[in-house]
């Protein structure tokens, strides 16, 4: 067995070990608002429920290891002590992942991820309409665990209202875990689906994906592409060029003779097939053809 003392490791190395060792971890998809009323949305896997009476949850936006900066979520809850914690199921996991990109202050991650803002009943931050459970919370306390990169900041939240999608409830009013289909975070690029096990999602681009808000309308409003499909498509730095689309379609035409006359719906179905294999570039070329 290999053994370490934490102080003998770099913070990034220790961080990686801890995230892989303590897994899977539930995800707090936290919606906050800054002092000017701008919404923010970001996921955190340092999260759990700690009390039912009073109903208390805690999540922790850690200081960034690479440069010791703090996240917008922490700044927001310091200014407006309210947050909505949305749970993440498999149907929205790619959009959730995209929202973790480090977009500049003032950029709305709801727009970038293609998720829907839903007004809360008690608190100011918006709920995520697609989330099967949304928890409106007041922030009771913020406990800073350190001042160096990697230090956590415990956001102690009291739930003031719960919203639960009827589709995940049994006849007796209890939550059906199979229907809820939660996902959780593990180390590296790994997640786990509560009812099916581990899978991988490529980390969002450090150069920032284009976001759903920059999609052509027929793609953004597709009746075929799922939220996860949109999340995958949004995690590219730039759309393919017209020339690359033309060359791809000419080559594809040798196998699919009707590609040039296909409807948007037919192209969207074909693009979904490419996305199922992780080929985002080809999927985009089909959608843009």
Q: What is the pLDDT of residue 256?
A: 64
Question: HSE (CB half, 13 Å, CA atoms) of 116?
Answer: 10
pLDDT tens by residue, 48-57 = 999 999 999 9
Helix, strand, coil abundance in the chain, percent, nearest 5: 35, 25, 40
Average pLDDT value over all residues in the chain: 92
pLDDT digits (tens, 9 = 90+) for 64-117: 888 988 899 999 999 999 999 999 999 999 999 999 998 988 899 999 999 999
pLDDT digits (tens, 9 = 90+) for 150-167: 999 999 999 999 999 999
CB atoms within 10 A of CB 276: 11
> Which pLDDT does position 117 carry in this prediction?
98
Over residues 131-153, mean pLDDT? 96
- The pLDDT > 90 percentage for the chain reads 71
Cα separations in angstroms, 117 against 37, 152, 244, 274: 13, 28, 35, 29
pLDDT tens across 5-14, in order?
999 999 999 9
């Amino acid at each position: 067995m290999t053994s370490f003392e934490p102080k003998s490791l770099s913070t990034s190395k220790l961080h990686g070990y801890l995230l892989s060792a303590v897994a899977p971890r539930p995800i707090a998809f936290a919606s906050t608002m800054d002092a000017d009323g701008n919404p923010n949305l970001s996921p955190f896997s340092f999260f759990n429920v700690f009390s039912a009476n009073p109903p208390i949850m805690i999540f922790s936006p850690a200081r960034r290891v690479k440069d010791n900066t703090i996240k917008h979520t922490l700044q927001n809850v310091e200014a407006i002590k309210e947050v909505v914690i949305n749970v993440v199921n498999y149907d929205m996991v790619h959009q959730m992942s995209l929202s973790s990109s480090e977009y500049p202050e003032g950029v709305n991650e709801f727009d970038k991820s293609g998720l829907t803002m839903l007004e809360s009943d008690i608190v100011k931050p918006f709920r995520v309409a697609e989330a099967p459970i949304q928890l409106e919370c007041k922030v009771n306390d913020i406990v800073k665990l350190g001042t160096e990169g990697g230090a956590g900041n415990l956001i102690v939240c009291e739930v003031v209202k719960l919203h639960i999608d009827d589709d995940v409830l049994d006849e007796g009013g209890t939550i059906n875990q199979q229907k809820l289909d939660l996902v959780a975070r593990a180390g590296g690029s790994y997640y786990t689906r509560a009812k099916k096990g581990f899978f991988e999602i490529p980390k969002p681009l450090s150069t920032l994906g284009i976001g759903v808000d920059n999609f052509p309308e027929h793609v953004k409003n597709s009746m075929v592409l799922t939220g996860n499909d949109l999340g995958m498509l949004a995690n590219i730095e730039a759309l393919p060029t017209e020339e690359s689309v033309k060359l791809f379609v000419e080559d594809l035409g040798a196998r699919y003779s009707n590609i040039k006359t296909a409807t948007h719906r037919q192209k969207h179905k074909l693009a979904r097939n490419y996305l199922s294999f992780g080929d985002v570039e080809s999927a985009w070329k089909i959608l843009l053809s």
